[in-house]
Amino acid sequence: MSNPNSQDRLSDLIHRLDVAYAKGLMSPEEYGVLRQGLEVRLALPKKTPRKRRHFKLTVAAIAAVAMVILVTIPLVLRSTTRVELDITDVKLDQGILSMSVKNTGTADAHNVEVSLVSPKNRTVIQVLDLLKPQDSLSVSKKLAIDQQQLYGIQLNIVVSCKEGFAKSYPFKP
């Protein structure tokens, strides 16, 4: 009932109903039911103004675009800047294990750890704070185990860093 004339008519009917009830022409139950029915018809359903609805949709669209951008940025950065560590020139000579570790990626590698993993234990060979892109590092360590005991055992040289990169290089002396 959005028409002003209809609202006026309903208000007039409510007023007449109140007068009839005051004169005792109807019971309280009848009055309550009729008054409630008229008030429900008189009440206007609250609608969101069109401009406000448009504003809410615009804000929601901007928020959705912002979320997509925020989710996409780390993925793009991760694909364009990454750490890639390579192990080359692995040699075991007179109980000294030597190798070269190179960062072939496009991002700095922090807390680079080079380890020798055997079936029985894991030995940290060297820990380096930072390895910049395209930098290489020569690593060597005297092993406490006799070289004769190492022959025939499958060893793995593992290089890992804080950025989550880890690479295993199988090595058989």
Q: What is the pLDDT of residues 11-24, one digit of tens each?
A: 888 888 888 888 88
Nearest CA among 121, 78, 122, 92 for reference residue 113 = 122
The verdict on 5 and 21 lying in the same domain is yes
Cα 12 to Cα 28: distance, rounded to the nearest angstrom: 19
Whether 156 and 166 have beta carbons less than 8 Å apart is answered as no
User: pLDDT category, 146, cuts 50, 70, 90?
Assistant: low
The verdict on 97 and 166 lying in the same domain is yes
Counting every residue written for the chain, the total comes to 173
Q: Which amino acid is at 69?
A: I
Q: Which pLDDT value is given to residue 1?
A: 46
Q: Which pLDDT value is given to residue 65?
A: 92
Nearest CA among 110, 111, 114, 136 for reference residue 125 = 114
The verdict on 154 and 121 lying in the same domain is yes
The verdict on 99 and 151 lying in the same domain is yes
Range of the domain at 39: 1-44
- The domain tally of the chain equals 3
The verdict on 70 and 91 lying in the same domain is no
Min mean pLDDT across 24-33, 88-97, 148-157 is at 148-157
Percent of the chain with pLDDT over 70: 85
Q: Which pLDDT value is given to residue 143?
A: 77
The verdict on 7 and 24 lying in the same domain is yes
Q: What is the pLDDT of residues 58-109, one digit of tens each?
A: 888 899 999 988 888 877 766 667 888 888 888 888 878 889 999 988 888 8
**CA torsion angle for 22, 26, 28, 31 (degrees, to 10)?**
-90
The verdict on 140 and 69 lying in the same domain is no
The verdict on 139 and 92 lying in the same domain is yes
The verdict on 65 and 111 lying in the same domain is no
The verdict on 123 and 144 lying in the same domain is yes
> Taking residues 134-140, what's their average pLDDT?
88
The verdict on 94 and 134 lying in the same domain is yes
The structure tokens 């359903």 sit at: 45
SS3 of residue 52 by DSSP: helix
